[in-house]
C-alpha cells in the first residue's frame, strides 16, 4: 500500500486544537519533484445505523457550524483518546438518542476526506434497541434532536436536502440493501 | 435549517493554503453559553461512478499523504474556482482514466466531514464510456493507476482494506442497488 509513496522532506505544524490539528508537509513526489500537502489530523469517529424493533431507524438533527446549517445524520461522535470504536459507538448512541443495544455489529470503516484529512469513521449497526431508563448527558456543547424514521422518510429527506452527509448517505443505501427493497 | 443555530461571535483565521484554509470561530450556543468551532474551508469536489460498456467500473489507486498509504477510489477531484461540478466531473474522469462520456447523470451531493469541514462532494454516474484518442495530462503533483473491476472485485478490495474511502463505499452500494444484486 505504498504505491506512488510521497516521502516527507519536512513537516511544519501549523495549528493544534481541541479536535483537529493542521500541518503542511513538503514531500518528494514519485517523479523526483517536490510538492506540498496540507494535512488535517483528526481523532477518528464512529457512526451507528440504529434500527428499532419496528424497522425504523434513528436520525439526529444538529447544527453544523462548518456548513452554517443544521443537517440530519445518523448518530455519530468522535473517538476519545485510546478508546475502542465499539465503546464510542455505544456511548454516542446512548448520549444522542437515549437508546442502547446489546446487538452491535461492525459494518465498515472508511476515510471521510482522504485528500486532506486522516479522519476514519467506523460504521456499526445496532439492532434490538432498548430505551435507557435514565438518559445520559450530551457533551456540554452538543444539541441534537432525535427522529425515528422509515427508509422512505429518510429518502424524502435526501431529496429535500435535509440529509446531506456522507455517512448517512452510505447508511441509507446499506439499509435499502439489507431490507431488500 | 437553522435549528440550534450557533451564531459567530468572532472568527479567527489561522491558515490559508493551496487547497484548504482553517479558522476558529467563537460561537454562541443554543443554551446561551459560548463554544469554539475549528473549521476547515475546502473548495468542494466531485467523484464519478464510471461504468464501462461491459459493466465494469473504473477505480484509481493513488497515494494519500494524510493516510500515509495508497488507497483505491472512484475517480475524483477538486472544483476549480467558479467551476460547475459537472465540468469538474468530466475533466477528472478524462484526466484520471483516459475515458470520457456523453452520458453523465447527477447522483447525490453530501458533506464528507460536517463536524469540522465544509467540503461537499458531488457524485455523478457516467455511462457508455469512450476511450479518449489523446490522453489528457494529470495535475503535475498527481500520480494515479487505473483499474477496471467488477463489483465482486471491488467488494473483495473493501474486504482486504484497499478500498477505504467514503465516496467509494457509497459508490459500491449504489452500484449493487443499480445492478439489482
Tell me: pLDDT of A65 over 90: yes
For residue A22, give the nearest of B15, B35, B78 by CB distance. B15
CA distance B66 to A6: 10
**Option in A66, A141, A173 nearest B117 (CB):** A66
Output the nine-digit C-alpha cell for B90: 468530466
d(CA A115, CA B167): 12
pLDDT (mean) for A147-159: 95
Q: Which of B3, B35, B112 sits opposite A166 (nearest CB)?
A: B112
Fold of the domain spanning A45-179: Nucleoside Triphosphate Pyrophosphohydrolase (3.90.79)
Which pLDDT score, from 0 to 100, does residue B137 have? 83
Contacts of A167 in chain B (CB under 8 A): 166
Q: Would you call B63 and A168 a contact, using CB atoms and an 8 Å cutoff?
A: no
CB < 8 Å to B65, chain A: 6, 25, 27, 37, 39
pLDDT of residue A86: 97
pLDDT in tens, A121-135: 999 999 999 999 888
Pick A19's closest partner by Cβ from B6, B116, B165: B116
CB contact under 8 A, A15 and B31: no
ipTM of model: 0.95
Q: pLDDT tens for residues A107-121?
A: 999 999 999 999 999
Q: What pLDDT tens digit does each residue of chain B (181 aa) get?
A: 789 999 999 999 999 999 999 999 999 999 999 999 999 999 999 999 999 999 999 999 999 999 999 999 999 999 999 999 999 999 999 999 999 999 999 999 999 999 999 999 999 999 999 999 888 888 888 899 999 999 999 999 999 989 999 999 999 999 999 987 5
- The C-alpha atoms of residue A51 and residue A61 are separated, in whole angstroms, by 17
Cβ-Cβ contacts under 8 Å, A119 against chain B: 113
User: What is the distance in angstroms between the Cα of A101 and the nearest Cα belonging to chain B?
Assistant: 25
d(CA B168, CA B174): 10
Note whether A111 contacts B67, CB cutoff 8 Å: yes
Instruction: State the span(s) of chain A assigned CATH 3.90.79.10.
Output: 45-179
Predicted confidence (pLDDT) per residue in A7-55, tens digit = 999 999 999 999 999 999 999 999 999 999 999 999 999 999 999 999 9
| C-alpha grid cell, residue B134 | 489523446
- Kindly tell me the sign of the dihedral angle through the C-alpha atoms of B155, B131, B97, A33: positive
In this prediction, residue A141 has a pLDDT band, given cuts at 50, 70 and 90, of confident
- Residues in chain A closer than 8 A to B36 (CB atoms): 17-18
pLDDT of residue B138: 83
B173 interaction partners in chain A (CB closer than 8 Å)? 170, 173-174, 176-177
B94-146 pLDDT per residue, tens: 999 999 999 999 999 999 999 999 999 999 999 999 999 888 888 888 899 99
Tens of pLDDT along A66-108?
999 999 999 999 999 999 999 999 999 999 999 999 999 999 9
Give me the mean pLDDT over the A155-172 stretch. 94
- CB distance B14–A19 less than 8 Å? no
Identify the burial level of B104 via C-beta atoms within 10 angstroms of its C-beta, where 0-12 means exposed, 13-18 middle and 19 or more buried: middle
Longest dimension (CA), chain A: 62
Closest CA to B128 of B30, B49, B51: B51
The pLDDT of residue B139 = 85
CA–CA gap between residue B181 and residue B176 (Å, rounded): 5
CB contact under 8 A, A27 and B169: no
Cβ <8 Å between A20 and B121 = no
pLDDT at A181: 55
pLDDT at position B181: 55
Q: What is d(CA B143, CA A73) in angstroms, rounded to the nearest whole number?
A: 34
Which of B127, B140, B153, B155 is labelled catalytic? B140
Q: Among all residues of A, which ones are annotated catalytic?
A: 140
* Contact call for B115 and A25, based on CB within 8 A: no
Amino acid at each position: 500500500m505504498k504505491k506512488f509513496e510521497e516521502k516527507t522532506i519536512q513537516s511544519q505544524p501549523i495549528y493544534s486544537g481541541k479536535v483537529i490539528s493542521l500541518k503542511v508537509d513538503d514531500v518528494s513526489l514519485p517523479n523526483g519533484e517536490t510538492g506540498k500537502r496540507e494535512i488535517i489530523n483528526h481523532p477518528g469517529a464512529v457512526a451507528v445505523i440504529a434500527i428499532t424493533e419496528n424497522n425504523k431507524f434513528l436520525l439526529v438533527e444538529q447544527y453544523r457550524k462548518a456548513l452554517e446549517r443544521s443537517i440530519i445524520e445518523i448518530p455519530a461522535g468522535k473517538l476519545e483518546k485510546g478508546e475502542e470504536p465499539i465503546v464510542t459507538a455505544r456511548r454516542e448512541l446512548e448520549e444522542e438518542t437515549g437508546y442502547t443495544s446489546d446487538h452491535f455489529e461492525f459494518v465498515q470503516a472508511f476515510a471521510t476526506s482522504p485528500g486532506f484529512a486522516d479522519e476514519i469513521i467506523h460504521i456499526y449497526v445496532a439492532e434490538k434497541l432498548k430505551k435507557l431508563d435514565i438518559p445520559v448527558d450530551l457533551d456540554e456543547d452538543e444539541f441534537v434532536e432525535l427522529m425515528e424514521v422509515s427508509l422512505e422518510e429518510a429518502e424524502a429527506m435526501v431529496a429535500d436536502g435535509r440529509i446531506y452527509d456522507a455517512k448517512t448517505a452510505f447508511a441509507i443505501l446499506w439499509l435499502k440493501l439489507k431490507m431488500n427493497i
